[in-house]
Structure formats: C-alpha cells, structure tokens
A and B are shown apart, each in its own frame.
Chain A
C-alpha cells in the first residue's frame, strides 16, 4: 500500500466527543452544561413561580399549560439539570477538601453522580409531573 507510510506520519487524532470523555470529565462538562441551561431557563422558571403564587386563576392557568407533553419534557430536562448540578456539585465540594481524589474513587463517585441524578429525576419527575 503506497499510503501506509503516509498514514504513519499522520498526527494522533483524539476523540474529544462527549461520550468518549473519561467519566469524571463527563460529570464535569455536564455540570457546566446543566448550569448554563438553568441560567437560560431561570427567567421562565421564575415566571412559573410568580404565576403560581399570584392568584388562584393564574395558578390554574399555569397548571393547565404545564400539562402539555412538551412543557413536561422541558421541565423534566430542567429537573435533571438541577439534580445533576446538585449531585455533581456535592462531589466537587468533597474534591475541594481532598476527599475522593484518587482515580478509582473519582470514577466510582462519577458513576454515583450520573446514576443518582437520573434516578432522582425519574422519581421526582414521576411524582410531580405524572
């Protein structure tokens, strides 16, 4: 093959896509993404709280509008964002005080964060939205 020598000289290609990150890296970038997501939707969430507290009529109107499947899906996504940000944040606080910084432990706690936030989202979302 004439291009075999050429191939050898090619630079290394690192796969930096999200799912190929090591688990602690995945938790880290999802922490950032979930935080940004919550910032973007903060005004909408405040609007929902404001409406729900304003009057019985507006409470009922908001409740009816949130019954739409798309609204439920967005709320479920934001619930996950909040819970992931919370769980990953607690993990980072422990890392700050040098707890769980060795690689095997860091991997295990990363899995715990990913699984716990998804499980909590399913439970809380299931109870509140359905």
Chain B
C-alpha cells in the first residue's frame, strides 16, 4: 500500500512544466508590453485605457494573467512545501493562496473587459 501524505499538491512533472511554460508566456508578454508602451507612450488615462482596450492587448494580457496566477500557485506551493512542515497549517496556507489567486484572476478579467 502506498503511504501518501496529504500535501494539497500534485506530484511530479505537471507543476514543473506549468512553471516553465507560464514563465515563457510572461517573459514574451513583458517584451511585448515594453514595446507597446514605448511606441504608444500612454501619458494619460485615455491613452492608457486605449492601450488595454485593443483586442490583441486584451488577449495577450489575459494570457499573461492566467500564466501569472498559475505560476504564482506553483511558486508559493514550492515555498510552503519547503518551509511549512506541519501538514494542517501548510494545507490551510495552500488553500488560502489558491483562494487569493482565484479571486485575483476574476478581478483581472473584470478589469480587462469592463466598458
């Protein structure tokens, strides 16, 4: 019988891969965002809103946020697994991280599609 411990996390390759794929998406978005800001030079609210109002920018920013929250989950899970040893406390903190990230994800989508 396999003696598994409840850690609130999956085992193996998946988290590792999610961390790297999301990292590449965010690195590409960072370069794209830097170029977009350098080109459009948004100096006031109208220009700033227009930058995020474009279809491709919403698309790219959504992918960035999705990557960010997945990436943050794997990273925080790694940190909690390394430093928080009591299982119950770790599970509670992991759940807290998930709740914060899911809430932030909804908030991010809402601010991108608000008229």
- A93 touches which one: B20, B97, B114 (CB < 8 A)? B20
Interchain nearest-CB distance for A75 vs B (Å) = 15
B contact face: mostly helix, strand, loop, or mixed: helix
Interface string of B24-62 (1 = CB under 8 A from A): 101100100000000000001110110010000000000
B52 touches A53 (CB 8 A): yes
Asked if B89 is an interface residue, CB under 8 A from chain A, the answer is no
In the assembly, what is the distance between CA of A109 and CA of B48, in Å?
36
- Cβ–Cβ contact A96 & B20, under 8 A: yes
- Size bracket, chain B contacts: 20 to 34
B25 to chain A, nearest CB (A): 12
Question: Which residues from chain A contact B107 at a C-beta distance below 8 Å?
Answer: 46, 50
A-B contact pairs, 17 of them (CB 8 A): A35-B75, A35-B79, A36-B75, A36-B76, A36-B79, A42-B68, A42-B104, A46-B107, A49-B111, A52-B48, A53-B52, A54-B111, A55-B45, A59-B45, A86-B26, A86-B30, A89-B27
A-side interface residues toward B, CB under 8 Å? 32, 35-36, 38-39, 42-43, 46, 49-50, 52-56, 59-60, 86, 89-90, 93, 96
Enumerate the 5 nearest inter-chain pairs by beta-carbon distance, A residue then B residue, closest first: A59-B45, A56-B45, A50-B111, A35-B75, A89-B23
